[in-house]
Amino acid sequence: MQDYPASWWAASSRHACDFAALREDIETHVAVIGAGFTGLSAAHHLCELGLRCVVLEANRIGWGASGRNGGIAVPRYKFTYPELEDKYGEATALLMYRAAHDAVDSLERIVRQHGLDCGFVRSGHLTPVVSASDVARFIADVEWLASRVHDTAPRMLDAAEASRRIGTAFYSAAYHEPRGGVIHPLEYCITLANALYAAGVRIHCGTPATRWQVEGDGVVVHTPNGRVRAKQLVIASNAYSDLTPAGKPLEKRVVPVASAVIATEPLPPDLRESLLPGGEAATDAKRLTNYYRVLRDGSFFFGGRGGASSRASQRIYDRLRRDMVAIFPQLASVAVRHQWFGLVAMTLDTLPHVGSLDARVHYGMGYNGRGVALSALFGRLLANRVAGHAPAVGPMSSGRFEPIPFHALRVPAKQVAITWKQLVDALGV
């Protein structure tokens, strides 16, 4: 069992948990593989339905992407809503709009219901924009929301207001969504796991699922020192599916991409108050996205895509610092205290997917960097599937979760994609 990476989240967490490895054969209604956002949300909603479940985690609670990400909950996708309408039709775009907001609401309900001490705040979200084409995209998005669903909450900020709200003149505009939020992602995982355990959910860490098989009217999950016999199985391993043999049936449907993060030393009060003074988090619209926020101790969190491999080198962290200073020159002399990385699960259509391999085996994954909120919703959708219901969420639940072509060539393909996106960002198109 591996320990947490040396992240700001691990260093600052005010909570801990300790769940023993499985060392016996047990029976339950549902086995859940993965104790991150999706698996824990699924366990929460299964518990609400009165279904017994066992959560199996190879490492520690929230060890994967769930405990390493930016903790930024955004009620939207990588696509704008006009783009979703063009691709899937108006009815589907409207359905996905409702799902995106339901996702953030679902996250908040879980936090409030269990009284989780995880820093959840509806602080709003900013999408800073550089290129004229992206400004036009987001203006069209604001107009679509107002005309299709009478939603006038999101708005475009001009260069001057964006500069005031963000603390930099780097961007030409910004899209403001006031209903976004932030959490301490590792504290969310740990406190939710503790609450579920107190409610009767069995959780076993240091318990990798080495394989599973359909047997009779159920599924048997094998671990190093015990087996779980269940009626149903939920696979919630996401970008880390290739690290566990149990995730093999799904690993070729996602490409794990490294996302690197740095966190500075706590900033002086005047500098701290000049950056994102409204408390929002930000995820910019560049092809190679940067995302950032001010943390509760005044440190500045800054993330971005790593290299083509599924790990991050010092060269990548150094480049990330240069990117941060290019956007925020006032941080040039500020020391970096923490650096770490996690894996983001990318899919062929840039959308997450919830579905079933058969009537007894279900999955939710492929969030493309939007998993903080959508995983809370997907946990509920997975619990509903276990109970025999499968609410539609457009292409995310259509069953068209296609394998990535030439998956074995994903590393050189990622390098080509990164180089292309760097060029597009440099040209500002």
Tens digits of residue pLDDT in 201-230: 999 999 999 999 999 999 999 999 999 999
Torsional sign, CA 107, 112, 116, 122: positive
Q: Which of 260, 259, 285 is nearest to 131 (CA)?
A: 285
Q: Which residues, 6 or more positions from 250, have their beta carbon under 8 angstroms from its beta carbon?
A: 235, 237, 241, 357, 363, 365
Report pLDDT for 92. Answer: 97
Report pLDDT for 236. Answer: 95
The C-alpha atoms of residue 17 and residue 268 are separated, in whole angstroms, by 33
With a cut of 70, say whether residue 425 has pLDDT above it. Answer: no
**Tokens standing for residue 208:** 């990798």
Report pLDDT for 180. Answer: 98
Q: Which residues, 6 or more positions from 139, have their beta carbon under 8 angstroms from its beta carbon?
A: 156
Q: Taking the mean position of all CA atoms in its chain, how far away is CA 282?
A: 14
Q: What is the phi/psi pair of residue 263, to 5°?
A: -135, 130
DSSP letter at 131?
A: S
Tell which wins on pLDDT, 55 or 311: 55
Mean pLDDT of 343-363: 93
Report pLDDT for 416. Answer: 39
With a cut of 90, say whether residue 402 has pLDDT above it. Answer: no
Q: Which of 311, 293, 277, 322 is nearest to 182 (CA)?
A: 293
The C-alpha atoms of residue 244 and residue 35 are separated, in whole angstroms, by 13
**Tokens standing for residue 128:** 């800073």
Q: Taking the mean position of all CA atoms in its chain, how far away is CA 180?
A: 14
Mean pLDDT of 392-414: 68
**Where does the pLDDT of residue 403 fall: very low under 50, low under 70, confident under 90, or very high at 90 and above?**
confident
Beta strands 353-358 and 336-346: pairing type? unpaired
What mean pLDDT value characterizes the chain?
Answer: 92
> Is 331 in contact with 300 (CB distance < 8 Å)?
yes
Centre a 10 Å sphere on the Cβ of residue 119 and count the other Cβ atoms it contains: 18
**Where does the pLDDT of residue 330 fall: very low under 50, low under 70, confident under 90, or very high at 90 and above?**
very high
* Domain 8-68+186-252+349-407 part of CATH 3.50.50.60: yes
**Tokens standing for residue 52:** 């017994």
pLDDT tens sequence across 147-200: 999 999 999 999 999 999 999 999 999 999 999 999 999 999 999 999 999 999
Report pLDDT for 399. Answer: 74
The C-alpha atoms of residue 234 and residue 130 are separated, in whole angstroms, by 41
Q: Residue ranges of the alpha helices (H) in 62-214? A: 81-88, 90-114, 132-148, 159-166, 185-198
